[in-house]
Amino acid sequence: MFHGFPWSDIGLPSPTVLCHTKVTSLGPEAAQALATSVAQEVAAMVWEIRDEFLPPTPQPAEVCASALALALEPSREGPVVVHETSDNCGCGGPGDGTHLLRAMLDAELGHRLGPGQVCFGHLCDGDAVQQAIGAGVGIETTITLGGRFGGEPHHGDPLVLHDARVVCITDGSFTLERPSIAPGWAFELGPTVGLRVQGQQPYSHRCDRATILQTSIVLQSYLTYLFGLVQTSMSS
């Protein structure tokens, strides 16, 4: 049973049932018919209970409230990760959605959790990168970020970040290290910048293949890289 790719807008990557049989004494035609029958039976069962596979879909503000509550638990060890999967470059998404980042900023997570405790990544936005490069490292400026492809209601409108400090500018070159899924793989993503705004760190780059494993980034005002999966110097 292959679960398929739910964010696709074509039929081929939908859930698929594959059944193997041994020919043995059945003969090839009977074996084929048996495999087809079993596959159709399983597929019908999956379709019948399809609604049970739907995950909960909380909205960004609710997600931020839940993440904040988890982060403030006295026994909390390690980061709270919010994995927003729908703005997926693998299915044609532009990777510049602003809904979640806007909710994080509205919730003032950077201020409420303190310096170095909130991080957002990534947004694919070449225009924002050029704005930051034009300002220079260490400079606070106003940067328009994300929402370049369609805006509301799909990916969110552009965010206007006032007093965004440019923390780093890199060439987007990095090599994955352990424990990533592909240690040793080298990437060339093009100009990449880190920003600090309101204590959080969002970062932008111009390539839709980027991953948060790439580099340290900064978004609300005290954003630092929490995940530690790839050690990329902010000074590179």
Q: Is the pTM of this model over 0.85?
A: no
pLDDT in tens, 30-71: 889 999 999 999 999 999 998 988 878 889 999 999 999 999
Burial of 18 (0-12, 13-18, 19+ CB in 10 A): exposed
Q: pLDDT value at position 79? A: 84
Q: Are residues 43 and 71 in the same domain?
A: no
Q: Are residues 78 and 146 in the same domain?
A: yes
Q: Are residues 11 and 87 in the same domain?
A: no
Q: Are residues 88 and 137 in the same domain?
A: yes
Domain containing 68 equals: 60-205
Q: Are residues 47 and 146 in the same domain?
A: no
- Quick one: residue 192, left, alpha or beta (phi over 0 = left, psi -120 to 50 = alpha)? beta
Give residue for tokens 């696709």.
8
Count of structural domains, the chain: 2
Residue 233 lies in a domain: no
pLDDT in tens, 186-217: 888 788 888 888 755 554 443 223 333 333 33
Residues 117, 71 contacting (CB under 8 angstroms)? yes
Residue 48 lies in a domain: yes
Q: Are residues 78 and 187 in the same domain?
A: yes
Q: Are residues 4 and 92 in the same domain?
A: no
Rounded mean pLDDT of the chain? 77
Q: Are residues 34 and 64 in the same domain?
A: no
* 114 vs 100: CA distance, rounded Å: 19
* 173 vs 181: CA distance, rounded Å: 18
